[in-house]
Structure 1
Amino acid sequence: MTGQERASHVVPVPKGYRVGRWEVRRPIASGAFSTVYAARAATPADGLPSRAALKFLATGTRTPRQVRHLRDLAEREVQLLSRLHAPRLIRMYETLTVDDPDHPELDGATVLVLEQAADSLDAVLDRTPRPALGPLVLAEVCAGLHQLHHAGWVHGDLKPANVLLMKDGTARLADFSTSAELDGTHAYSPAFATRDYTPPELLRPETSARGTLIRPTADIWAFGVLAHLVLTGTHPLPGSTPEARCDAAARYAQGMEELRLSPDLPESWRHIISDCLSRTHAERAAAHDTEALLTRVERAVGGAGPVRRPRRRAGFRRRHPVLATVLASTLLATACATAAGYAYVNHEDGTPVYAALPAASKAPVGPDGKISYGYHRCPENSVCFFSEHNGNGEMCSWRGDDSDWLSGEETCAWAGNQPVRSVYNNSAAERGREGLAYFRGPDFSPAGIDRRRPVQRTGCTSINSMGNLSGTYAPRSHRLVSDCFTFTAIIDTLTHW
């Protein structure tokens, strides 16, 4: 990270910095009081992933009043995430405190170890105004608000930057530093929020020693603004700056100006957003709470039931049932030979295969003269590949599929110029995908000699299995499958890509 890049972040943390078991890799986002970094686990731990997002809230080099305020923000977020575990809220794995007197700007910082997202709604809207998945994301945001409100909390700062998108495209609410627990009908939040998403009554809020009085309808107003922006690419109130839009909101609340929703707004959403943007808290509360709002949003998206993301294209068996049956019959004759092919070395065609143990001359030997094993380094609920036999040498681990080992956020650089020598499928049985299939090509596709194999994958290792590989074994992608040796799994592997 360059000096200029560090200066642009509220909490500058150099690449490679260690806090707890985590190693900082790159900045993800920076807000008014914190900076979020991508991180990887330097040491494995039970129940924790290999990748996470570290949210640094600095306390060093601050005035006592600022320190108290930052600690309050951190305590609010930790309290909420420690108590609430809901599908539409980002997960928190642990909290840490930096103890580093040599770096006063970091010493004492609170660090939240969070589930790492793939993107944010804010970044998506910058790239693609009015995204195609916008309605589905809004339904999931609304579900997250309902989960919060049902548990007795108000978010207090709903905006695109605080909606995170996971690898599967689903949405999570994040950044609960201004959230507040309800005490009856209202709560008290720090006097801070993003003005574009602040309801008119909070532009000049009621404040006390406990903070700003806030109600759940503040989140409903913010949802209305967010939904209008996602569906039309514009804010619902006129103005080229947040200040101008706040002035327009104040005039609207006083009855001096009418709400003018975009003509691009789908008709099914028009009344929903109008009710969300009612002038007063009382009008919003009378229109709907988040439970009723969620029902209306689900209907607007296209169904009265729970919102579901678009189904992937039907599998090969459903699209071509007759051909699939013929293929299964053909594979039946060679299945036993195929399964055996994973257990023995085949030197004739150069195909790397699953092997029991290497020759003694190839096996790493420890100081006691015994063969050394390193499989124990593979984290729980992970799949691991090693550069040497018996789990020794360099290791790459994943907690799911990877379509290209040599590109993307998680890479296995050493596999680009040397073969894989051993593998450990240490994944969890409750996932329902117990086999680990691996391929020479990216995107789970065959390459080279694999194109001539009855099953066009390089190999497959069953759950809780470990072993050595021999030959020029060079996988470039892997996928968890239902079972290595069932005919269904073989057909799935052959036709899924």
Structure 2
Amino acid sequence: MLIAGRYELHTAIGRGAMGEVWAAYDQMLGRPVAVKVLRTENTDPTAESRFRLEAQTAGRLHHPHVVGVLDFGEHEGRLFLVMELVDGDSLSGVLSGDGPLPAERVALIAAQAAAGLAVAHEQGIVHRDIKPGNLLLDADGTVKIGDFGIARFMDDPSAALTATGQIVGTSLYIAPERALGKPAGPPSDVYSLGCVLYQLLTGKPPFRADTPIAILHQHLDAAPVPPRELGVALPPAFENYLLSLLAKRPEERPTARQTADWFGSGSWRGSAEPLPAAAPAPPPVPARPPVPRTETGPATTYKLPSAAGGAGHRAAHRQRTAAAVPRERTASGGRRGRPAPTGSRLDLRALLAQRPRVVGIAAATVLFVVAVFVGMALFSPDDSSAETPTETQQSGPADPTP
């Protein structure tokens, strides 16, 4: 079949309540395309307006993760929509064939799908029907969102439940606010994406029941079982973020842009807690400069001068005694005979104040020495020799026996 004189339909690749999708070929531009044709037997009075809405909304989006709209028209009373042909399967087909996917692959799908949704939300467009069948994978695994603007069920859930073949599939991914009859907004798409990611990881949607109404009640009241409790190997960071996408209140969910950035940055892997910063090394203590000390010199032991030493010996002894006084009593008041503590300084003024006392001590010492020598001269034996005093001291007194 040739539509609009250029689109040659080859194989039917999809069929829905409103239309059917064909793999086709654009003879004018020489490229493969997908053509969606509105079904003639469709009795929904809003079908044409919804079909046009899809063309108008998707036609405003140009993004690698959104199925591009190339043309729109009418042929023999039937509306048709020409789109980019995605040469691959949908996530619904992947789940049927491969089952649950590893966290690495699901994170990549999440980043790409959220990026496509973010562009739509920034254009004021809400998809309203995010589910595995509307997330397509091309030949290299890139995610592309299809079916923009097609409302699969009414905004009023009680009326939507009467639509056979539609609410059963869609109710698995419906946001709680939509189950309450509120209009869909960007957070609704984020919630639906969270349901899809949960199913990709576990193989099952977060909520299941025998009837669509029971499923809606679970979306409203039940908490999803954390995937790791179902045996899924998943980093804690990934699981926590996934559960935030499934928050009951729309304002508690991250935006599509935040979700795309978070998964795209690899934050889902989590990261080890940083080690505490090492304490800075204490600055080196500068070496204490040596304390200048008064050159008193070590204490010296002196021999008593002989009587023949004269005044020169006495003067030298007096000078040495005066020099040794600071060693015996320090300026800090230390006990006599003990050296001053290390690093102490002599108080020069205190030393000068003690000068008369030092002179008196030296004079008394000289008088004592003179008195000793006078006594020795007066009381020594007559026949002792002055030239050999040392011998006399060593041998004792002379024997008086001749």
TM class, shorter-chain normalised?
0.5 to 0.7
Matched-pair contact (CA < 8 Å) for 1:236–1:261: no
Distance 1:218 1:28, change over 3 A: same
Aligned to 1:52: 33
Q: Is 1:114 the counterpart of 2:95 in the alignment?
A: no
How big is the shift at 1:273?
1.6
Question: Aligned partners of 1:116 and 1:226: how far apart in 2?
Answer: 23
Residue type of the alignment partner of 2:257:
E
Question: Aligned partners of 1:121 and 1:227: how far apart in 2?
Answer: 10
Q: What residue ranges of structure 1 are gaps of 5+ in the alignment?
A: 1-15, 100-107, 180-187, 207-212, 253-257, 305-497
State the structure with more CA Rg: 2
Aligned to 1:489: none
Matched-pair contact (CA < 8 Å) for 2:24–2:32: yes
How big is the shift at 1:56?
1.2
1:155 to 118, 127, 145: 127
Tell me the TM-score normalized by structure 2: 0.57
Aligned to 2:280: none
Question: Aligned partners of 1:203 and 1:240: how far apart in 2?
Answer: 17
Q: How does 1:327-406 map to 2 (within 5 A)?
A: none
Q: How does 1:193-342 map to 2 (within 5 A)?
A: 194-206=170-182, 213-239=183-209, 242-252=212-222, 258-262=223-227, 263=229, 264-265=231-232, 266=234, 267-284=236-253, 288-298=254-264, 299-300=266-267
Q: How does 1:342-491 map to 2 (within 5 A)?
A: none
User: RMSD across aligned C-alpha pairs, in angstroms?
Assistant: 2.6
Q: Which whole-Å deviations, capped at 9, do the CAs of 1:242-281 have from their partners, x for residues lacking one? A: 55432322332xxxxx332222341232111211111122
Question: Aligned partners of 1:268 and 1:303: how far apart in 2?
Answer: 5
Q: Which whole-Å deviations, capped at 9, do the CAs of 1:137-169 have from their partners, x for residues lacking one? A: 222111111111122221111001111111221
Q: 1:214 aligns to what SS in structure 2?
A: coil
Distance 1:303 1:19, change over 3 A: farther
Q: 2:12 aligns to what SS in structure 1?
A: strand
Question: Aligned partners of 1:146 and 1:96: how far apart in 2?
Answer: 28
Tell me the TM-score normalized by structure 1: 0.47
Q: Is 1:173 the counterpart of 2:145 in the alignment?
A: yes
How big is the shift at 1:234?
1.6
How big is the shift at 1:82?
2.1
Matched-pair contact (CA < 8 Å) for 1:53–1:115: yes
Question: Aligned partners of 1:303 and 1:144: how far apart in 2?
Answer: 24
* Pairs aligned (count): 251
Question: Aligned partners of 1:302 and 1:52: how far apart in 2?
Answer: 38
Q: 1:111 aligns to what SS in structure 2?
A: strand
Matched-pair contact (CA < 8 Å) for 2:66–2:144: yes
Aligned to 1:464: none
Distance 1:297 1:83, change over 3 A: same
Aligned to 2:48: 71
Distance 1:190 1:55, change over 3 A: farther
Residue type of the alignment partner of 1:116:
L
Question: Aligned partners of 2:38 and 2:200: how far apart in 1?
Answer: 29
How big is the shift at 1:62?
4.9
How big is the shift at 1:290?
1.7
Question: Aligned partners of 1:149 and 1:89: how far apart in 2?
Answer: 12
Q: 2:204 aligns to what SS in structure 1?
A: coil
Q: Is 1:86 the counterpart of 2:58 in the alignment?
A: no
Residue type of the alignment partner of 1:237:
F
Matched-pair contact (CA < 8 Å) for 1:136–1:301: no
Q: Which has the higher strand share?
A: 1
Residue type of the alignment partner of 2:31:
S
Matched-pair contact (CA < 8 Å) for 2:111–2:261: no
Question: Aligned partners of 1:205 and 1:146: how far apart in 2?
Answer: 24
How big is the shift at 1:296?
2.2
Question: Aligned partners of 1:261 and 1:240: how far apart in 2?
Answer: 22
Give identity over the alignment, percent: 26
Q: Is 1:24 the counterpart of 2:9 in the alignment?
A: yes
Q: Is 1:134 the counterpart of 2:106 in the alignment?
A: yes
Question: Aligned partners of 1:44 and 1:204: how far apart in 2?
Answer: 48
